[in-house]
Amino acid sequence: MALQWLILTYVVAAEAALALILTLPSPKLLKNRLVSLISLILQPALFVVPFAGFQILDIYWKNEHRLICTSEICTAAERDRYEKSVFKAQRNVILCATACLLYWCIQRICKYHKEIQSLEEVEKRYKNQ
């Protein structure tokens, strides 16, 4: 049950590292190669978006069908278990949202870098004419 959250945690950590690498200042040649490499990785890495969406739907379904301890005969252990499951669900929703947001940020950074590259090439052509 926790394997999908472990996988998603590693994916978020990898995405955060990629975003950090892309935003660090580096020489132009190195930056161009990094962006092209990360752009190649982005298309197969798109699986994270539907995976995270499915996990959010799973959390929502479990939340709707969770047994709520509202009566007076609930023990302290039952209430603690319920609160712990709510906190874990909230943490997992944040993890899913972060995975999607980081994927989008990396994709936009790569796209902007490629657009800047093409504009620089156009500018170079105009200067040469």
Tens-of-pLDDT digits for all 129 residues of the chain? 588 889 999 999 999 999 999 999 999 999 999 999 999 988 888 888 998 988 988 888 888 877 777 667 777 787 788 888 888 889 999 999 999 999 999 999 999 999 999 999 999 999 988
The per-residue pLDDT for 119 is 94
The per-residue pLDDT for 1 is 55
- Residue 29 identity: L
Flag whether 42 is in a domain. Answer: yes
Q: Which of 66, 47, 59 is nearest to 91 (CA)?
A: 59
Domain that holds residue 59: 1-64+75-128
Flag whether 108 is in a domain. Answer: yes
Flag whether 69 is in a domain. Answer: no
Question: Is the pTM higher than 0.75?
Answer: yes
